[in-house]
Structure 1
């Protein structure tokens, strides 16, 4: 039974795609976290100075 289960490759592609999607999502979250505060500070500072 285990050898039959190990030989199955039907679900492998779906698992690989989900792992790639999770990796991309992780990169996006890390980029937003790293750049978010800098963009927020610069954009908010420019917005406040424009309104004054």
Structure 2
């Protein structure tokens, strides 16, 4: 029984220490995700921006011709 209590206390202490040390890591992970999403948006707009501009220009020319 004493061994079981010792294991539980050890795990409890380890879990509390682990969760406390991950608070800063969580903020860092979220900031990395936000940066990655922003990078994907910039690359996506850069890649498809010209194609969308051409498509809307052609659409405007077609509608004007009606």
TM-score (norm 2): 0.60
Shift of 1:40: 0.6
Structure 2 stretches of 5 or more lacking a match?
Answer: 1-20
> Which of these residues, 53, 57, 66, is aligned with residue 40 of structure 1?
53
Shift of 1:10: 2.4
Q: Does 1:22 align with 2:50?
A: no
Q: Deviations over 1:9-34 (max 9, x none)?
A: 32110010010110011001100100
Higher alpha-carbon Rg: 2
- The structure carrying a bigger helix percent of its residues is 2
What RMSD, in angstroms, separates the aligned Cα atoms of the two structures?
Answer: 1.2
Structure 1 stretches of 5 or more lacking a match?
Answer: 1-7
Where does structure 1 differ by over 4 angstroms across 4 or more consecutive aligned residues? none
